[in-house]
Amino acid sequence: MYPNPLWATRFRVAPLSFVLLLLPVLLFATPRIQQKSTDPNKALNLKSTPSPIKVDGELKADEWVTGALVKDFTEFQPNEGSTPGIKAEAWITYDAMYLYVGYRVTDEPSALRSTNGKRDEVWSDDWVAIALDTYRNNSYFLLLGANPSGIQVDSRGNGNNDDSSYNLIYTSAGRKTETGYEVEMAIPFSSLSFPNKEVQSWGVNFLVNHPRASRHMYAWPALTQNNACTMCQFGTLENIKGVKSGSMHYQILPALVGSNEASREDSANPGSPFTKEKLGLKNMEPSLNLKLDFNSNTSAEMSFNPDFSQIESDADQISVNSTLALFYPERRPFFQEGADLFDQESGFNFGEPFQTVYTRSMNAPLVATKFISRQGQSSFGYIGAMDEHSPIIIPLSESSEVMENGRSISNILRFKQAMKGGNYIAALLTDRRMPEGGSGSVVALDGKINFSPKYYFTYQLNGSRTEELNNPTLNNEYGLSGTFDQGRHTVALDGETFTGHSGKIGFIRQSREWNFYFGYDAVSPTFRADNGFVSQNNFRQANIWQGYSFYFKDRFITQ
């Protein structure tokens, strides 16, 4: 969760033009202080193992003889810079197929927290993990770990916005010992995405989670909250030779869902026989999912009449006292994979960005396609879908109208360029069109500029063009009436065409003690995002938030 502003003031006179004037500066600004992507004094020169390591949770000296040793962990939460209260050691090596990681933690066995729960549901346990930035571009890292029982925890993120729904295929095993616990992991190179070159150099961080009266976390190399770029503090894995990411492979997943029903011939007589209705083709719903992984960097996927019946149901939300559309998170695996690329949140640690991409706007796709490619510091993504039941959100200044229409075709393009020091710039294009007329397009630019380890600037600029449906039936069904933009346009879907804009900028200090956020948001009354989730418009808002954290070592209250 992001901290909410302690107070916010809405301005009705300040135009957005000054934000647009900043565009050349945002595009070409170079931070005055360059942050190092890794710590050169924290480098591990890896040697390959002559034989595969058996992952059974027991660290055998003869198996790990070539492993690089990691020790001297440092606490970064809550007592930053302190020596850990336990002893932790890690080893890392590799062969042609796997990256091997082993941990030995010395601790009181009776105090260990280790449950045999589901994957990614043991974050409150003791666990160990490795964080990998395989491109060393400070764009994102993979966190791969396990608890003392070998139950896996993994996520993908940048240290601020991490996605624990991301799952990578790897093997892990753990066991409790008389002096603590041990964990072994084998991470297939075929599961990882990394540059295509003979000798690899990756960013790395080793982590230990130690929850007791407080949640203590230890890292190697040491991490500090006084640097907003987490990955800039990583060490390096050097001299990984002769490994390849996954080769081309494909998946074909057909499905056939059938249903049948019967009713009493005489509804007034409970003893009457059921109608005899055979299960026919009209009761069948075939679907097909095709996925082609060209390598670990590039994949394409297509789904025909996808079946999402096995997806976890949405949590109930009460809408009685809300005049705005309700937001539900995306749970469909087809849209979840690669979602971080389309996410515009990565620069906003304070305050929510405008949700210009909301894949649930593709409600019931008949056909959906997706293409994801990550090449070095550049990433490209595409999502296309033909939807049979298209939701429409009409945002207004104090409320929103939500309705459902028929078929639509959506296309979403995203490009992101990562730079040193955790900086990035990205562009987005979305377009949705309906066969009977009506369309909505958004062009967006967002990015992050680090001026120093503690200070950075974030921005998001959006422009939209909307051509409404001309649909009297929907107007009557949903009772659409009234006007907006000072009476220039009607709320009803009557074929109007208009353009809109929105913008968000923020100047942020992020450190261990003193943090602040100065931000400005502006949304015109005609801004809409047909492939996004914008439930309110027509406002300008300045946000100011600041806070100071006090830390107490070895006290009842730690923060």
Three-state helix/strand/coil letters over 497-559: EEEEEEEEEEEEECCCCEEEEEEEEEECCCCCCCCCECCECCEEEEEEEEEECCCCCCCCCCC
Q: Please tell me whether residues 24 and 40 are part of one structural domain.
A: no
Containing H/E element for 28? helix 23-28
Is the pLDDT reported for residue 245 higher than 90? no
Q: Which residue has the higher pLDDT, 259 or 57?
A: 57
Q: Which residue has the higher pLDDT, 191 or 481?
A: 481
Quick one: pLDDT at residue 42? 86
Is the pLDDT reported for residue 34 higher than 90? no
Is the pLDDT reported for residue 402 higher than 50? yes
Which residue matches tokens 């990882």? 192
Quick one: pLDDT at residue 45? 94
- 356 in a structural domain: no
Average of per-residue pLDDT across 295-312: 77
Reference 377, options 337, 414, 415; nearest CA is: 415
Average of per-residue pLDDT across 465-486: 93
Average of per-residue pLDDT across 374-379: 80
Structural domains of the chain, count: 2
Q: Please tell me whether residues 9 and 85 are part of one structural domain.
A: no
Q: Please tell me whether residues 116 and 1 are part of one structural domain.
A: no
Instruction: State the Cα–Cα distance between residues 135 and 379, nearest whole angstrom.
Output: 12
Average of per-residue pLDDT across 222-234: 88
Reference 491, options 532, 444, 523, 538; nearest CA is: 538
Of 241, 270, 291, which residue is a domain's last? 241
Q: Please tell me whether residues 535 and 431 are part of one structural domain.
A: yes
**Confidence label for 325 from pLDDT (cuts 50, 70 and 90):** confident
Instruction: State the Cα–Cα distance between residues 419 and 228, nearest whole angstrom.
Output: 15
- 457 in a structural domain: yes
- 192 in a structural domain: yes
**Confidence label for 56 from pLDDT (cuts 50, 70 and 90):** very high
Containing H/E element for 449? strand 439-450
| Number of Cβ within a 10 Å radius of residue 162 | 14
Q: Which residue has the higher pLDDT, 229 or 463?
A: 463
Average of per-residue pLDDT across 188-197: 85
Quick one: pLDDT at residue 282? 61
Quick one: pLDDT at residue 32? 40
Quick one: pLDDT at residue 316? 66
Average of per-residue pLDDT across 109-132: 93
Strands (E), 242-360: 249-258, 284-293, 298-304
Q: Please tell me whether residues 4 and 49 are part of one structural domain.
A: no
Quick one: pLDDT at residue 313? 63
- 125 in a structural domain: yes
Quick one: pLDDT at residue 13? 36
Of 241, 275, 307, which residue is a domain's last? 241
**Confidence label for 52 from pLDDT (cuts 50, 70 and 90):** very high
Is the pLDDT reported for residue 449 higher than 80? yes
Burial of 435 (0-12, 13-18, 19+ CB in 10 A): exposed
Quick one: pLDDT at residue 131? 96
Average of per-residue pLDDT across 96-100: 95
- 263 in a structural domain: no
Is the pLDDT reported for residue 77 higher than 70? yes
Least-confidence region, from 131-140, 326-335, 411-420: 326-335
Quick one: pLDDT at residue 72? 92
Question: Which of helix, strand or coil describes residue 191?
Answer: helix
**φ, ψ (nearest 5 deg) of residue 508:** -130, 140
Of 241, 267, 290, which residue is a domain's last? 241
Quick one: pLDDT at residue 36? 43
- 314 in a structural domain: no
Of 17-21, 62-66, 139-143, 330-334, highest mean pLDDT = 62-66
pTM: 0.74
Q: Please tell me whether residues 16 and 74 are part of one structural domain.
A: no
* Residues 133/234, Cβ–Cβ less than 8 Å: yes
**Confidence label for 418 from pLDDT (cuts 50, 70 and 90):** confident
Residues 294, 300, 302: CA angle, nearest 5 degrees: 140
Is the pLDDT reported for residue 411 higher than 50? yes
Instruction: State the Cα–Cα distance between residues 392 and 67, nearest whole angstrom.
Output: 57
Q: Please tell me whether residues 398 and 480 are part of one structural domain.
A: yes
Instruction: State the Cα–Cα distance between residues 197 and 553, nearest whole angstrom.
Output: 46
Q: Please tell me whether residues 79 and 12 are part of one structural domain.
A: no
Q: Please tell me whether residues 423 and 528 are part of one structural domain.
A: yes
* Residues 484/396, Cβ–Cβ less than 8 Å: yes
- 60 in a structural domain: yes
Taking all residues of the chain, what is their mean pLDDT, rounded to a whole number? 84
Sign of the torsion angle spanned by Cα atoms 105, 110, 112, 118? positive
| CATH label of the domain that carries residue 234 | 2.60.40.1190
Quick one: pLDDT at residue 554? 64
Is the pLDDT reported for residue 296 higher than 80? no
Average of per-residue pLDDT across 120-137: 92
Write out the residue range of the structural domain in which residue 484 sits: 1-30+394-410+419-559
- 91 in a structural domain: yes
Q: Please tell me whether residues 41 and 172 are part of one structural domain.
A: yes
Q: How far, CA to CA in Å, does 533 sit from each of 48, 390, 529?
A: 49, 13, 7
Torsion angle, alpha carbons of 158, 161, 166, 168, to 10: 20
Instruction: State the Cα–Cα distance between residues 433 and 348, nearest whole angstrom.
Output: 30
**Confidence label for 9 from pLDDT (cuts 50, 70 and 90):** very low
Which amino acid type is present at position 207? L
Q: Please tell me whether residues 15 and 70 are part of one structural domain.
A: no
Q: Please tell me whether residues 71 and 21 are part of one structural domain.
A: no
